[in-house]
């Protein structure tokens, strides 16, 4: 059987990424140009600046991806590109570039939902993983509990009613002065703290989430007690946020009688969250999957892996 080469393109937020995958599973290259340094001084992603930066680097990033994969344009069989959700101007750069390539090379263009891409990162990391499974997609923009019925069949079981979990991590980091992007910094500082501070947890009857109350509680507490132990605060925040994630995901797995859970998205890089989910393996015999850290945050390999031709 002929190998299929897919070029993946991702530009939905502040990473310009282009990847080359063989048969949708083997990464030949996965170049990620992060704009973190550019947005750092603003304390968050500035959409207009993000779009301009994508335009400036996308050609170079693509050439590097081809070089690293040791292929030329004519080896590409299809182009997969994230079309949304994300920042409209930023997405437009990747989509326009992908359309132009598809036209010039006369190859099919596959539009991939960014959240589907995050889920697909698990297929690259775990060749044995097959649907059905429950996937908890936790990132800067999304908190979705998804029933992956088949490779392209999904049902959203629950989602956040306000802030995405990653937003809450980034906000907590900002409140305690850790800077942007906050998630990895909260993760690191929390390792030195104890989860001894009481913070509110929001529950719903269904499988939805809410993190704005928790975020506001951290803000109010920090204003009231500026000398509070920051490591303890981060650890306490992580504990409460993770409890809700675990409880809802477990509830969904039980309701649907599914014994496989996958984590996806930037926040699934969090060491405490991973540790708490792994406990479900021993306690309930549920297999827990998550991709390596480089495949958790935004990247084009996951976009190319979302469809197998
Ligand atoms: O998936 P991603 O790269 O972009 C979106 O699709 O949103 O996720 C970015 C989010 C940011 O909020 C970042 O702070 C968070 O993932 N993040 C983490 C960690 N690494 C990245 N949050 C908690 N712990 C981490 N180790
Ligand atoms: Zn993402």
Residues of the chain with CATH 3.30.420.40: 5-121+297-306, 128-291
- Cα 24 from Cα 41, distance rounded (Å): 37
Does any ligand 1 atom lie closer than 6 A to the CB of residue 139?
yes
- Look up the pTM and report it: 0.94
In ligand 1, the atom with minimum distance to the C-alpha of 173 is 14
Cα 294 from Cα 80, distance rounded (Å): 19
At the top level of CATH, the class of 5-121+297-306 is alpha beta
Which residue bears the tokens 């775990």? 126
* Start-to-end C-alpha separation, the chain: 12
The per-residue pLDDT for range 2-32, each reduced to its tens digit, is 899 999 999 999 999 999 999 999 999 999 9
140 lines ligand 1 (CB under 6 A): yes
- What would the pLDDT profile of 216-225 be if each residue is shown by its tens digit? 999 999 999 9
Distance (Å, whole) CA 186 – CA 237: 9
What pLDDT, on the 0 to 100 scale, is given for residue 309? 58
Average pLDDT over residues 105-120: 97
Q: Which two tokens stand for residue 44?
A: 């968050």
Q: Which atom of ligand 1 is closest in space to residue 271's alpha carbon?
A: 26
Superfamily of domain 128-291: ATPase, nucleotide binding domain (3.30.420.40)
């Amino acid at each position: 059987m002929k190998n299929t080469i897919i070029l993946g393109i991702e530009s939905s937020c502040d990473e310009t990424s282009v990847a080359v995958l063989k048969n949708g599973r083997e990464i030949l290259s996965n170049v990620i140009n992060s704009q973190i340094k550019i947005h750092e001084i603003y304390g968050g992603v500035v959409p207009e600046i993000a779009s301009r930066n994508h335009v400036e680097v996308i050609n170079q990033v693509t050439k590097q991806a081809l070089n690293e994969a040791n292929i030329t344009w004519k080896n590409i069989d299809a182009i997969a590109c994230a079309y949304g959700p994300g920042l409209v101007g930023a997405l437009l750069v990747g989509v326009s570039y992908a359309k132009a390539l598809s036209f010039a090379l006369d190859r099919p263009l596959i539009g991939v939902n960014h959240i589907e891409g995050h889920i697909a990162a698990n297929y690259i990391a775990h060749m044995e993983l097959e649907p059905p499974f429950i996937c908890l997609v936790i990132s800067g923009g999304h908190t979705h509990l998804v029933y992956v019925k088949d490779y392209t069949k999904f049902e959203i079981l629950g989602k956040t009613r306000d802030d995405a979990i990653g937003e809450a991590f980034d906000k907590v980091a900002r409140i305690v002065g850790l800077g942007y992007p906050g998630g990895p910094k909260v993760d690191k500082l929390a390792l030195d703290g104890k989860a001894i501070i009481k913070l509110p947890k929001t529950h719903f009857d269904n499988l939805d989430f809410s993190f704005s109350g928790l975020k506001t509680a951290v803000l109010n507490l920090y204003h009231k007690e500026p000398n509070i132990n920051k490591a303890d605060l981060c650890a306490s925040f992580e504990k409460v946020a993770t409890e809700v994630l675990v409880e809802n995901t477990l509830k969904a797995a039980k309701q649907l009688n599914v014994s496989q859970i996958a984590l996806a998205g930037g926040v699934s890089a969090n060491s405490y969250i991973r540790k708490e989910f792994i406990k479900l393996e021993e306690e309930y015999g549920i297999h827990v999957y998550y991709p390596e850290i480089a495949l958790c945050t935004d990247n084009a390999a996951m976009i190319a892996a979302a469809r197998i031709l």
